[in-house]
Amino acid sequence: MSFITKLKPTPKEAILKYLEGVEEASTKKIAKKLGMAWGTADINCRILKSEGKINKKTHYQGYRKSNIWSLKVD
């Protein structure tokens, strides 16, 4: 018998829940608010986009580029 309990939401669940509360957010802001590494937030946002759950918009500011994520509205 296994006593494994789920204490925390997975990164994907946490990102979806955070995006419900805000209109849109950058990868950096998502990582900072949820206390995860930038790479973890980026990979999970890309996975959620491939699953069709969120939208991606790219914002350019000079030579810098940032990804802006928002929930997909049906």
20-70 pLDDT, tens digit per residue, is 999 899 999 999 999 999 999 999 999 999 999 999 999 999 999 999 999
User: Nearest CA to 15 among 34, 43, 32?
Assistant: 34
Query: Structural domain boundaries of the chain?
Result: 11-71
- pLDDT band, residue 73 (cuts 50/70/90): confident
User: Nearest CA to 49 among 67, 32, 31?
Assistant: 67
Res 60: pLDDT: 93
Residue 71 DSSP SS3: strand
In the structure encoding, which two tokens stand for residue 7, read together?
Answer: 């204490």
Q: Does domain 11-71 bear CATH number 1.10.10.10?
A: yes
